[in-house]
Amino acid sequence: MFVLVLNAGSSSQKSCLYSLEESIPDTPPKPLWEAHLDWTVAQSGGVLTVKSNDIRQRIEVEKKESALQILLDTLTTGKTKVLESFNDINAVGHRVVHGGAKYSQATVIDDEVKKAIASLIPLAPSHNPANLEGIETIEKLLPEVPQVAVFDTAFHTTIPQAAKVYPLPYEYYQKGIQRYGFHGISHQYCSQRTAQILQQPLESLKIVTCHLGNGCSLAAIDKGICIDTTMGFSPLEGLMMGTRCGSIDPQIPIYLMQKYGLNVENVNHLLNQESGLLGVSGVSGDMRAICKAMSDNNEQAQLAFNIYLYRLKKAIGAMVASLNGLDVLVFTAGVGENSAIVREKTCGGLSYLGLQLDLDKNNANPVDKNIAAEDSMVKILVIHTQEDWAIAQMAFNWTI
């Protein structure tokens, strides 16, 4: 059977197609077809990159209104064709960024689910509209095929109230202001993959997963259940990120508005797009560029790196405290998977946990491996997060 995955973002659309048999394999298979539509690399439109049949094709797309249909057409036409017809597709899985407090697991999409996704647009204005667009496009194309919403917030619905409720008047919690958490699909996948790699029951492990990309978050996972995470009501809270500030004194935005005349839109853009690594370094929000600038003795880049590490180590300590111990520390996503220096410096500040890194293993571009030293009391894993595969599995489970 064929499972299509649509992973829509504010400025991109990632998609893939999996061919699955009657059961799910233990290790993630390679997609039969992959497509990535990026609206940030060209001034006049978007760039669609499609990979299948050992072919890589680049297509320029002018209008967003027709972009998704152009992307999907590469499944059945041209050099990248892998299906005779869209009717060959058996299920479609969608990553939906915000599911609110209601959805704690993947859910077959119906009118009620669509209304819920639409109602949460104010909490995820850059993502939920794109998620709905994908759902409605598939409805027109394949009205009989089951579509499954896989919510990024679902994995975090198990967080206890002491970690979930903000210390505001309780009425605001009743109105929906609470810690939701994000990157849940990645955190859940990595916890399950950890158990597979270590060949230990997930129920026996205390895990901290570090999803470190342009957006960054941690999750504290006890016996497979998330009990805390660093992102909160929005993806702005928590760690220092590429262009997001993470947690700061909540009085600062108010002060910026009062002292410097910034309005809500100005402050929102500053905190989300002008801060983090980019804001402090003045160089870039990309860790690779930060490290390059550090090698050229750029003091602001070094400061940005130091702040990033300080906040990361402090937040890991908070997650360990919520778990009352630690068996496994996991690094994943773009920075977590590829930056040996970030892993080295982070682990070097956590030796009080009995955690010891094997430097040779760390520097050997590890993927889905334990890079802890033999005498380390804590396992250290680098895991290639595969959100699309996790979505495909959940969509597949609804068809059997």
Is 111 annotated as catalytic? no
Tokens found for residue 51? 């990979």
Whether 363 has a binding-site annotation, put simply, is: no
- 387, amino acid identity: E
Whether 213 has a binding-site annotation, put simply, is: yes
Whether 338 has a binding-site annotation, put simply, is: yes
Q: d(Cα 55, Cα 80) in Å, to the nearest integer?
A: 7
Whether 279 has a binding-site annotation, put simply, is: no
Q: Is 8 exposed, middle or buried (0-12, 13-18, 19+ CB in 10 A)?
A: buried
Q: Which of 97, 92, 153, 95 is nearest to 127 (CA)?
A: 97
Q: Which of 8, 268, 296 is nearest to 130 (CA)?
A: 8
Whether 337 has a binding-site annotation, put simply, is: yes
202 SS3 class: helix
Whether 287 has a binding-site annotation, put simply, is: yes
Whether 336 has a binding-site annotation, put simply, is: yes
DSSP at 332: E
Q: Which of 349, 250, 256, 268 is nearest to 308 (CA)?
A: 349
Whether 394 has a binding-site annotation, put simply, is: no
Q: d(Cα 112, Cα 96) in Å, to the nearest integer?
A: 15
- Candidates 38, 88, 110, 152; catalytic one: 152
Whether 311 has a binding-site annotation, put simply, is: no
Q: d(Cα 19, Cα 395) in Å, to the nearest integer?
A: 13
Whether 7 has a binding-site annotation, put simply, is: yes
Alpha-carbon 241 to chain mean position: 13
Q: With contact defined as beta carbons under 8 Å apart, do 381 and 1 qualify?
A: no
- The HSE-up count of residue 25 (CA atoms within 13 Å, CB side) is 10
Whether 56 has a binding-site annotation, put simply, is: no
Whether 334 has a binding-site annotation, put simply, is: yes
| Helix (H), strand (E) at residue 17 | strand 12-19
Whether 387 has a binding-site annotation, put simply, is: yes
Tokens 């992307």 found at: 71
Binding-site annotation: residue ranges: 7, 14, 95, 211-215, 286-288, 334-338, 387
Active-site residue list = 152
Binding-site annotation: residue ranges for ATP: 14, 211-215, 286-288, 334-338
Binding-site annotation: residue ranges for substrate: 95
